[in-house]
Structure formats: structure tokens, C-alpha cells
Amino acid sequence: MIAWTKKKRERLVRSIAKVLLGLIAFSFVLVIFFKFFPPWFTPLMAYRSLEAVFSGEDSHIYYEWTPYEKISPEAAIAVVAAEDQVFPKHWGFDVREIKKAVEENKVRKQPRGASTISQQVAKNVFLWNGRSYFRKGLEAYFTVLIELIWGKERILEMYLNVAEMGDRTFGVQAASQRFFHVPADQLSRKQAAALAAVLPNPQRFSVQKPSPYVRTRTRFIVRQVKQLGGPSYLKNLRKF
């Protein structure tokens, strides 16, 4: 009986190991696939669509994949200036900002995050919305994978295409057409900064009806873009 129990336990361990190895292999295949092909949708897009359906509202998702070279360089530098100014230099995580956030959150009522653009892409493309240590661990795992396999330019291209920028609106192309009636490659610096200004909470902030906070943040982003040196700050992004 003891021998049978031990054998059964060993079989269970082997089965779990096979499942884990299978999941790891699948995650590698998925990351490699998205290095070359755009996602048809993301978990957040699906969630927003279902949310609208259950609310009895229009569930159409505004999303149009656009290659990096067909997006205004002003849009790329605007999101970097707004969300992750050391994006070209780190390998997925901004350790300084993480430490700073940990210290600040000891006294803040509303904790602030320190997610890089890479982490946001990992969450948006591969994971569900929510807060848990398990999901955060998966986010870190996928962040490492995309940094190693995609490179910086693909990560930024993905972010510019899947980031939520308004009500059921994802990516710079859809947002620029919907809010400014111009294609993404014609965005001005101020328009790009306005899109980047709502990124902290696109469900709360609006490009079309900017609050005083959004207007102030837009001006701040424009100044930050100038201080970084404009689009040339991103001219040597790692591609591999």
C-alpha cells in the first residue's frame, strides 16, 4: 500500500511537470508568433466588448493594427515621455521606479504602480485584467520573454497598437482617426501628447473632452518630449 501510494505520488509529480513544461513551451510559441504577427484582439478588448454587451451599449471595438513605420514618431516619443522615459535603456523593469513606488506606497492611500511599457504590453497582450501576486508573477515572466525575443522596437510597436486610449478604443491609429480625424502618421506633437495624457486611466480621462488634469498633463508631456530630444531619442531602439 505504501509503495502504491509512493508510485501514485511520483506519477502525479510527473504529470504536473509535463503540464508545466507544456505551458512554458506554449508561452514561447505564443511570444514568437506575436513577434511577427499582430494580435486579432487582446483580453482587455474582449472584456470591454462583453462589458458593453451586458450594459446594453455598443460593443464595437475600435482597433486597427498599424506598422511602426506608419505611426507618427511623435506618438512613439509621447508615450515614452509619459509612461516610461528609460524604456530604451532597461530590460523590462525600472528598478529605481519600483523602489520609489514601494516607499511612496507606504504612506499613500492610493498606491501607484511602476510598470514599464514592456510590463504593460505583457499584461495587455497575454493576461487578464486584475490584481494578484500570481498575475504579477506571470506579467514578469512574459516581460522577460518579450524583451528577449521581441526587442524594443516590436514592444513599442505593440504598445502603440494595443494600449487603451478611450472608450473601446485601442491603439494610436484608431484613436487618432476617432478623436482627431487624421491617420496615425499625421499626428502632431500636441495631438500625440493628448493621447498619451489619458493613458493612466482611459476610462476616466477623455481626449475629446479633456479635463484640466488632461490639459496640464498634455503640456507636461510636450515639455518632456522636448527635454528627451524629440523622436531622435528612439532612433536606435534594439530590434532583437
The answer, yes or no, to whether residue 180 has pLDDT greater than 70, is: yes
Backbone angles phi, psi at 237, to 5 degrees: -60, 140
Q: Residue range 65-79: average pLDDT?
A: 98
DSSP letter assigned to residue 90? S
Quick check: helix, strand or coil at residue 143?
A: helix
**Looking at the domain that runs over 16-234, which CATH code has it been given?**
1.10.3810.10
Residue 110 confidence (pLDDT) above 90: no
> 144 near 233, Cβ under 8 Å?
no
Q: What is the pLDDT of residue 8?
A: 80
Beta carbons of 169 and 178 less than 8 angstroms apart: yes
The reported pLDDT for the residue numbered 99 is 86
Phi-psi region of 230 (alpha: psi -120 to 50; beta: other; left: phi over 0): left
Residue spans of the domains in the chain: they are 16-234
Residue 238: the pLDDT is 82
First-last CA distance in the chain:
55
Residue 4: the pLDDT is: 62
- Distance, in Å, from the CA atom of 220 to the CA atom of 5, rounded to the nearest integer, reads 65
**What are the CA-CA distances from residue 27 to residues 39, 159, 161, 209 (Å)?**
14, 19, 21, 40
The average pLDDT across 15-21 equals 91
Nearest 5 degrees, angle CA 227-CA 232-CA 233? 55
| pLDDT at position 151 over 70 | yes
Residue 104 pLDDT greater than 80, yes or no:
no
CA–chain centroid gap for 150, Å, is 14
